[in-house]
């Protein structure tokens, strides 16, 4: 990509990044260009100058970055500072956020070899985490990071290839986790209805990668024509009432024009709770060699959403997560009309700062005092002041409360949560970093970490860029420090 950052560029902030070749730490300037974009500029003594665009809108970038997140550091640190961020992960003494989105990588096995895969996997002598290790991780999360957990995300590889997946899900529920999500490419689920039924029985949530409705884009991103498979998978998940999150990876010029269709698809499915839209990252076994023209910034995704949802959602309908760096997560909530009317973004009846406050210190919307206070104020305001959509919004809110708090029986907390999430759906835009865009300021405020049985937690971007490639569990030939790995193909075998 051509560097547009010029000498006239205005410095926005300084940070530490990584060399895209050797991954050594480099000082980096983040600058706003005369054209209104934000670029990161750095130079490796061995591999030269490196510029990368971080945002197409400097005003949005600076305004968003200025939002102060809720500080909630981890209770227990596992590493002292030695080499500096991002080389002391554990978390180290400098890390600012406890883990809110724990990611547990339970297997190295995968039955797909996506060109955009941003991690490393291996199928020969595949690694499967055992139940004891998984238990230790859950206990560390509770003890080291504090209290109840909104979510645990089980990932791989392809977690449905783990022989004890269902046991792990049940274990997480027994430990009081509110939501247990299982990332999946959907291949096995599409042809194993019994597994889908059993996932429903253990109240698993499937986080299904679903990138495109178009044949060419589908193949380009996943290395196979999978649309029919994904749709079959969705049929089964819907049939068995499995709560589902759709995870499309946005790639400029490939599928970004489809984001509105993907959102409409998710909002229209009763079992879909959220959409989590990722921006492509160029790391891992596949991503390293993917075409850089596909790089897309958070703000561009928000713009595409506005362009392709006919005004349903725009950048102003999103707020950052209060418990992550503001440039990492943008979230919009929509009130769903069960009668088929258009969904209503929360920002149509809440100011953005109220919505931000309502999320309080949660990554996912939970019935907190903050949420209750904000919603009550909103209801009173709608009722007293009226307005174009006030009656309809009040009617939908009332239906949501009736579903969550029926008078003829008490729902379990899980049932009430599910009822709430049928009435209110979230769209997350999550921007991961790779070697080129890496910014330690964001890494230090990350709440999204890969977790180990000894209590170590590593922010997922750090993990994907630096740590996973060095683990024998996931690599036939683990990388060493000072080299970049990836770009290899996974050995695929016939798998269940």
CB of 67 to another protein, least distance (A): 25
- Residue 318 sits at the vertex; the CA angle it makes with 317 and 322, to the nearest 5 degrees, is 140
Among 2, 68, 408, 480, binds another protein (CB under 8 A): 408
C-alpha to C-alpha distance for 347 and 11, rounded to whole angstroms: 32
C-alpha to C-alpha distance for 26 and 440, rounded to whole angstroms: 10
The interface with another protein within residues 272-331 (CB under 8 A) comprises: none
384 or 388: CB nearest another protein: 384
CB of 399 to another protein, least distance (A): 10
C-alpha to C-alpha distance for 116 and 114, rounded to whole angstroms: 5
Helices 259-268 & 298-308 angle (0-180, nearest 10): 70
Part of the chain binding another protein (CB under 8 A), chosen from 4-12, 160-168, 250-258, 394-402? 394-402
Give, in order, the Cα–Cα distances in Å from 480 to each of 43, 92, 108, 439.
22, 21, 19, 21
CB of 147 to another protein, least distance (A): 11
23 or 362: CB nearest another protein: 362
Give, in order, the Cα–Cα distances in Å from 407 to each of 227, 337, 402, 411.
42, 21, 8, 10
Neighbours of 80 (CB within 10 A): 10
157 or 322: CB nearest another protein: 322
Build a one-symbol-per-residue string for 57-86: x at contacts with another protein by CB under 8 A, - elsewhere. Answer: ------------------------------
Residue 449's beta-bridge partner residues?
A: 102, 459
Do 370 and 360 contact (CB within 8 A), yes or no?
Answer: yes
Torsion on CA atoms 174, 177, 183, 189, rounded to nearest 10: 40
Build a one-symbol-per-residue string for 413-432: x at contacts with another protein by CB under 8 A, - elsewhere. Answer: x--x----------------
CB of 410 to another protein, least distance (A): 4
Among 397, 460, 479, 490, binds another protein (CB under 8 A): 397
Among 22, 76, 166, 411, binds another protein (CB under 8 A): 411
Alpha carbon 287 to its chain centroid, in Å, reads 17
C-alpha to C-alpha distance for 151 and 376, rounded to whole angstroms: 26
Part of the chain binding another protein (CB under 8 A), chosen from 100-108, 214-222, 409-417, 487-495? 409-417
CB of 173 to another protein, least distance (A): 17
Q: Rule CB under 8 A: is residue 410 a binding residue for another protein?
A: yes
Among 236, 249, 382, 433, binds another protein (CB under 8 A): 382
398 or 493: CB nearest another protein: 398
CB of 320 to another protein, least distance (A): 23
DSSP, residue by residue, 393-411:
HHHHHHHHHHHHS-SSSPP
Among 63, 338, 383, 472, binds another protein (CB under 8 A): 383
Part of the chain binding another protein (CB under 8 A), chosen from 200-208, 344-352, 398-406, 434-442? 398-406
Neighbours of 395 (CB within 10 A): 13
* Residue 448 CB contacts under 8 Å (≥ 6 apart), including other chains: 99, 100, 101, 103, 324, 328, 459, 460
Do 95 and 463 contact (CB within 8 A), yes or no?
Answer: no
CB of 409 to another protein, least distance (A): 7
C-alpha to C-alpha distance for 414 and 176, rounded to whole angstroms: 10
Part of the chain binding another protein (CB under 8 A), chosen from 158-166, 169-177, 288-296, 395-403? 395-403
Do 252 and 246 contact (CB within 8 A), yes or no?
Answer: no
Do 182 and 143 contact (CB within 8 A), yes or no?
Answer: no
C-alpha to C-alpha distance for 326 and 442, rounded to whole angstroms: 8
CB of 358 to another protein, least distance (A): 13
The residue count for binding another protein (CB under 8 A) is 24
405 or 481: CB nearest another protein: 405
Among 76, 94, 401, 495, binds another protein (CB under 8 A): 401
CB of 418 to another protein, least distance (A): 14
Build a one-symbol-per-residue string for 351-380: x at contacts with another protein by CB under 8 A, - elsewhere. Answer: ----------------xxx--x---x--xx
The binding site for another protein (CB under 8 A) comprises: 367-369, 372, 376, 379-380, 382-384, 394, 397-398, 401-402, 404-405, 407-411, 413, 416
């Amino acid at each position: 990509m051509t560097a547009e950052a010029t000498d006239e560029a205005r410095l926005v902030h300084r940070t530490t990044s990584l060399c895209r070749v050797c991954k050594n730490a480099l000082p980096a300037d983040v600058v706003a260009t005369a054209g209104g974009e934000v670029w990161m500029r750095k130079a490796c003594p061995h591999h030269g100058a490196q510029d990368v665009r971080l945002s197409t809108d400097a005003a949005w970038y600076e305004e968003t970055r200025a939002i102060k997140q809720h500080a909630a550091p981890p209770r227990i640190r596992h590493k002292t500072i030695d080499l500096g961020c991002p080389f002391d992960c554990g978390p180290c003494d400098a890390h600012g956020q406890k883990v809110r989105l724990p990611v547990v990588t339970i297997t190295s096995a995968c039955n797909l070899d996506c060109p955009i895969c941003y991690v490393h996997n291996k199928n020969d002598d595949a690694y499967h985490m055992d139940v004891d290790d998984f238990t230790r991780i859950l206990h560390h999360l509770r003890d080291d990071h504090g209290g109840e957990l909104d979510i645990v995300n089980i990932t791989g590889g392809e977690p449905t290839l783990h022989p004890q997946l269902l046991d792990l899900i049940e274990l997480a529920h027994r430990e009081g986790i509110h939501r247990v999500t299982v990332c999946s490419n959907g291949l096995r689920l599409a042809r194993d209805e019994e597994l889908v039924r059993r996932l429903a029985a253990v109240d698993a949530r499937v986080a299904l990668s679903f990138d495109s409705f178009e044949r060419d884009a589908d193949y380009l991103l996943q290395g196979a024509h999978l649309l029919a498979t994904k749709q079959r998978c969705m049929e089964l998940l819907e049939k068995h009432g499995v709560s589902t999150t759709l995870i499309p990876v946005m790639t400029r010029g490939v599928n970004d024009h489809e984001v509105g269709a993907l959102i409409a698809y998710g909002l229209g499915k009763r079992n879909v709770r959220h959409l989590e839209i990722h921006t492509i990252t160029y790391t891992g076994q596949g991503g390293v060699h993917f075409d850089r023209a596909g790089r897309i910034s958070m703000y561009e995704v928000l713009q595409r959403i506005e362009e392709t949802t006919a005004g349903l959602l725009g950048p102003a309908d999103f707020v950052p997560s209060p418990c992550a760096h503001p440039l990492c997560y943008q979230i919009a909530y929509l009130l769903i009309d069960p009668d088929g009317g258009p969904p209503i973004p929360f920002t149509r009846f809440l100011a953005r700062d109220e919505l931000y406050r309502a999320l309080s210190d949660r990554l996912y919307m939970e019935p907190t005092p903050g949420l209750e206070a904000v919603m009550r104020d909103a209801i009173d305001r709608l009722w007293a002041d009226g307005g174009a959509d006030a009656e309809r919004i009040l009617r939908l809110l009332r239906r949501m409360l009736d579903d969550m708090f029926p008078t003829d029986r008490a729902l379990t907390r899980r049932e009430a949560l599910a009822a709430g999430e049928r009435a209110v759906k979230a769209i997350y835009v999550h921007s991961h970093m790779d070697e080129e865009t890496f910014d330690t300021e964001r890494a230090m405020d990350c709440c999204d970490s890969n977790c180990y049985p000894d209590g170590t937690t590593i922010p997922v971007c750090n993990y994907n860029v630096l740590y996973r490639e060095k683990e024998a569990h996931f690599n036939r030939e683990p990388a060493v420090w000072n080299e970049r790995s990836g770009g290899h193909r996974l050995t695929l075998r016939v798998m269940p």
